[in-house]
Amino acid sequence: MFSKILIANRGEIACRIVRTARRMGIATVTVYSDADRDAMHVAVADEAYRIGPPSARDSYLNVESIVAAAKRAGAEAIHPGYGFLSENAAFADACAAAGLVFIGPPASAIRAMGGKSEAKALMDKAGIPLVPGYHGVDQSPHILAEQAELIGYPVLIKASAGGGGRGMKVAAQASEFASQLASAKREAASSFGDDRVLIEKYLEHPRHVEIQVFADSHANCVYLFERDCSIQRRHQKVIEEAPAPNFSPDMRERMGRAAVEAARAIGYVGAGTIEFLYDAAAGQFYFMEMNTRLQVEHPVTEMITGLDLVEWQLRVAAGETLPLSQNDLTISGHAIEARLYAEDPGRGFLPQTGRLTHLAFPSGENVRVDTGVRAGDSISVYYDPMIAKLIAWGPDRDAAIHRFGVALAETRVGGLKTNIGFLARLANHAAFKAADLDTRFIERHNDDLLKRPLPASDAAFALAALGLLLARTEEAHRAARASSDPSSPWAHSNGWRLDDEARDELRLREVSVENAEEKKIDVVYRRGGGWRIALGNGSAFDAQGEIAADGELTGTIGDEKVSAVWKSAGNEITLFTKTESRRFAIVDRLQGADAAQVSGGSLVAPMPGRVISLLVEPGTHVEANQPVVVLEAMKMEHTLRAPSQGTVVAFRYAAGEQVDEGAELVDFRADGN
C-alpha cells in the first residue's frame, strides 16, 4: 500500500479522500490555488503545496504544477477526485511518465470513454442500446442541423467531452437550434477545452439510472448496484438515491451486467459509472455515457453496501484484487443524497458568492455530511458553489426520506442564499414520495417547488428584534464588567429613565425576500425587565428572554414560548427556527435603505463574471423577458433578460470583458420612461 498520496483536487472530495487515507495510515498531500490558501482541504492534510493563481485553468488544471508538487512531496500516487483532471488522459500519462501511480483507470480507458461520441460508437459495437442520435466527426453547423431534423425535435445538444451538465442544451424546435448549439459549444470549450458536440433525441419522460462498476487489474469486475439521479436542474443532479425506487431485481441484473460488459470492453480498472436513460414504461434502457472516475454521489452507494469506495480505489491502484466478488455484494436499506448549494432557486438557481457567516450540520444516527467548508469560509466565484452533500439512510425509502427531511431542518447556513428550502419542498412533495420520477421532475412541479417565499411574519420580525436587543444588552454588560466603575448608572443596559420607560427604534429589512419593505420597530424598555416591541402595522408584543454565547435564544413573545438560533455578522441577522431560516438587514435609520441593494429586474451582473455575448443591437426595442446579454460565471452561462418592454440604448461592456457583481451591463430605457 502507498505511504503517501497527493490529492489533485479541492473542497469536499479532497477532505473526503483525506479521511479514508488517514484511516488506512496513508499520509496525504493537498494542493491549493491562491483563492484556497486557507481552505479546509489545506488544513486537514499532512502537507499542502501552492500550484497557482485562483483560476482553475492556472491551478487545478495545471498538470505540470501538480506533478511537480507530487514529486517535491515524495508522493507515490495521485488521486484526482472528480472534476478538474479526473478524466484527463494526458494527466494520467503525465503521472506515469513521472513515476507516479494515477489512482484511476488506464489512460486508454479514459480516452475510449472521454469523448461521448467515441464512447457511443464503442457501446454500439458491444451491443449496448443507444438513444437515437448523431455522434459523428463532422461538426459543421449545417450538418448538425440536418441531423437534428432527421432525429426529430426536441433534441439534446451535448458536449462530447466532460459532464456535470455543462455544454448541454435542449432545442425544442428548429428555430432554436443555432443559438442553443452556439451556447453549448461555448460552454464546452470553456469547461473542457473541446467544443465538439453530439445530438440526441430528447426523451420525454426518462429516468436517469446509473450503475457503479469496479474493476481490478486481475480481470475482476463487479457492479455495486444502481443509483437513481433523475431529480435534476440544468442537467445537473440535485438528489440521488440508492437503490433506484420501483426498479425490479431483473432490471437491476440486466443493467448491471450491461455495465460490466461496457467496462470490460475498454479494459477498465478502478471505479467508474455507466449512466443510462431508463424508459420505465417500455422497460428499456439506453447507454448515455461513462464517467471514468469516482462520482459526486458515491456516498449513497457506500451507505447501502457498507463499503468505502475510496479505500477500494486505493487498494486497486496499489495492485490488490477487489475485496469482494459479485455474489458477496448485498443491498441494505435505502439512502438519499442532496447537494447543498449556495444558490437562489427563485432566480433560476443563480449561484451565490460570499462568506458563510454561520454553518451548522445535523448529526446523529443514519446521517452523513461531506463538506469542504467551515463557518467563516467564502464561496468563491472561481469554483463550484457546493457547500456540502447531505446523506441520509433508512431501512426503507420512506424512512430514508423522513430522516433526510429532519436532517435538512437541522442544517443551518448563514450569510448566503441556499437551496435548503427548495430541497425540503422537494423531499416533501407527494410525487417524490410516490417515486413518480423523471429527469424533468423539477420542471413538471415548478410551481410547487419554486414558490416565492412569503414575507416574514410579525412574530419573526419580533424574534429577530428580541435577539438584537438581547445581544446588545449582553454586549453592554460585558463593557460594564470591564469598566473601572461597573456599578455606575451609565453602565446600565436596561434603558433606565427618570419617571419614564425608555424608548428606542429599530429598523429591519428582510433580505430573504427580494424587494422586501423596511419595517420600523418601536421598542419600550419595561421597568420590570424585557421590552414592548411594536411593529408599524399595529402588532405589539411583550418580549423577554436570554441568548447564549452560541446564539441559542430562548424566551417569550407575547404568550408564546420561543426558541431559535440568532446569529449576526456586520449589519445582517440570520434567524434559524425549527421550520425556517430568515435573514434581516439592520438598517441605519440615518442612512435609510441600503444604497448597495440592487433593485430587482435591473440588467446588472448578478455576480462577478465575463460577458460572453451581446444578443441584440444597440437601439433595439425588446419585449419583456427577451434575452439581451449572456454572462459566464461559475463555469455556467447565465442569460440576462429585459425586465420589461423597452429599448436597449447601449451596452456598457463588450463581449470578453470581466465585470464585477452589481455592474450595470446595459443602458436600458423602459417604455414610458
- Mark the ranges of the chain whose per-residue pLDDT is less than 50: 591-601
Q: What is the CATH number for 354?
A: 3.30.470.20
Predicted confidence at residue 595, as pLDDT, reads 33
| 352 and 376 belong to one structural domain | yes
Asked whether residue 230 is domain-assigned, the answer is yes
Task: Output the pTM of the full model.
Answer: 0.81
Predicted confidence at residue 483, as pLDDT, reads 66
> Any residues with CB less than 8 A from the CB of 573 and at least 6 apart, and which?
464, 467, 468, 508, 566, 567, 583, 584, 585, 586
| 196 and 216 belong to one structural domain | no
Asked whether residue 601 is domain-assigned, the answer is no
| 665 and 561 belong to one structural domain | no
CB 198 within 8 A of CB 169: no
Q: What is the CATH number for 544?
A: 3.30.700.30
d(CA 620, CA 628): 10
| 243 and 225 belong to one structural domain | yes
Predicted confidence at residue 399, as pLDDT, reads 98
Please name the helix (run of DSSP H) or strand (run of DSSP E) that holds residue 508, with its range, or none.
strand 503-510
| 416 and 301 belong to one structural domain | yes
| 375 and 237 belong to one structural domain | yes
Nearest to 7 by CA among 21, 33, 28: 28
Q: For the CA atoms of 371, 215, 254, 87, what is the dihedral angle to 10 degrees?
A: 50
Asked whether residue 162 is domain-assigned, the answer is yes
Q: Measuring CA to CA, how many Å separate 133 from each of 148, 163, 284?
A: 8, 18, 17
d(CA 673, CA 662): 22
Give me the phi and psi of 500, to 5 degrees please. Answer: -160, 160
d(CA 95, CA 619): 54
Domain final position from 186, 201, 216:
201
Predicted confidence at residue 597, as pLDDT, reads 35
The grid coordinates of residue 610 equal 465575463
| 197 and 213 belong to one structural domain | no
Mind giving me the DSSP string for 455-497? PPPHHHHHHHHHHHHHHHHHHHHHHHHHSS-TTSGGG--S-EE
The grid coordinates of residue 263 equal 467496462
Question: 579-601: per-residue pLDDT in tens?
Answer: 888 999 998 755 443 333 333 34
Predicted confidence at residue 5, as pLDDT, reads 98
Asked whether residue 9 is domain-assigned, the answer is yes
Predicted confidence at residue 599, as pLDDT, reads 33
Asked whether residue 505 is domain-assigned, the answer is yes
d(CA 299, CA 138): 39
Number of domains into which the chain is organized: 5
For residue 343, the SS3 value is strand
d(CA 439, CA 232): 6
Domain final position from 201, 227, 243:
201
| 538 and 523 belong to one structural domain | yes
Write the DSSP symbol of residue 597.
Answer: P
d(CA 7, CA 672): 58
Count of residues for the chain?
A: 673
Give me the phi and psi of 119, to 5 degrees please. Answer: -65, -40
Neighbours of 430 (CB within 10 A): 9
Q: For the CA atoms of 61, 63, 69, 70, what is the dihedral angle to 10 degrees?
A: 110
> Any residues with CB less than 8 A from the CB of 115 and at least 6 apart, and which?
160, 161, 196
Q: What is the CATH number for 652?
A: 2.40.50.100
Asked whether residue 346 is domain-assigned, the answer is yes
d(CA 340, CA 88): 27
Amino acid, single-letter form, for residue 361 = F
Catalytic residues: 293
Q: What is the CATH number for 183?
A: 3.30.1490.20
Asked whether residue 170 is domain-assigned, the answer is yes
d(CA 659, CA 631): 9
| 528 and 470 belong to one structural domain | yes
Q: What is the CATH number for 90?
A: 3.40.50.20
| 147 and 215 belong to one structural domain | no
For residue 372, the SS3 value is coil
Predicted confidence at residue 59, as pLDDT, reads 96
Predicted confidence at residue 187, as pLDDT, reads 86
Range of the domain at 270: 207-449
| 234 and 334 belong to one structural domain | yes
Asked whether residue 602 is domain-assigned, the answer is no
Q: For strands 133-134 and 197-201, give the pairing.
A: antiparallel
In 3-state terms the chain splits into helix, strand, coil percentages (rounded to 5) of 30, 30, 40
| 231 and 258 belong to one structural domain | yes
d(CA 288, CA 207): 12
Residue written as cell 464546452? 188
Q: At what angle do helices 63-73 and 89-97 cross, to 10 degrees?
A: 30
